[in-house]
Amino acid sequence: MPEMTRNRREVLRDAYPMRDRIETLLRERPQTVPELAGALQAPSHEVFLWLAAMLRYNVVEPKGKANSDGYFTYMLKEVHS
């Protein structure tokens, strides 16, 4: 049976609840999209959309260069007050 994929609007609707879960995981250590997807038990393409939203709002940032598989490691952006 083929895997069902959700449309973009459905995925982005989950962005706020998933943001908390992603932030919790990134507080432990910087991670790649596949690592986050495994921990969240979510498809990588959905995790990528949630991270893209977090990048847009300066919540996360890539750490260094992409790995040999082409994935960046993401970390929480430091907040300066």
The answer to pTM > 0.85 is no
In the chain, the number of structural domains is: 1
The residue among 64 and 7 whose pLDDT is bigger is 64
Is residue 1 assigned to a domain?
Answer: no
Shortest CA distance to 74 belongs to which of 42, 8, 27?
27
Is residue 81 assigned to a domain?
Answer: no
What are the backbone dihedrals phi and psi of residue 57, each rounded to the nearest 5 degrees, phi first? -100, 20
Is residue 55 assigned to a domain?
Answer: yes
Tokens at residue 37, please? Answer: 């997807």
Is residue 45 assigned to a domain?
Answer: yes
Q: How many CA atoms lie within 13 A of 66 on its CB side?
A: 6
Is residue 2 assigned to a domain?
Answer: no
User: pLDDT for 17-62, tens place per residue?
Assistant: 889 999 999 999 999 999 999 999 999 999 999 999 999 999 999 9
- Give the CATH number of the domain where residue 24 resides: 1.10.10.10
Range of the domain at 35: 8-76
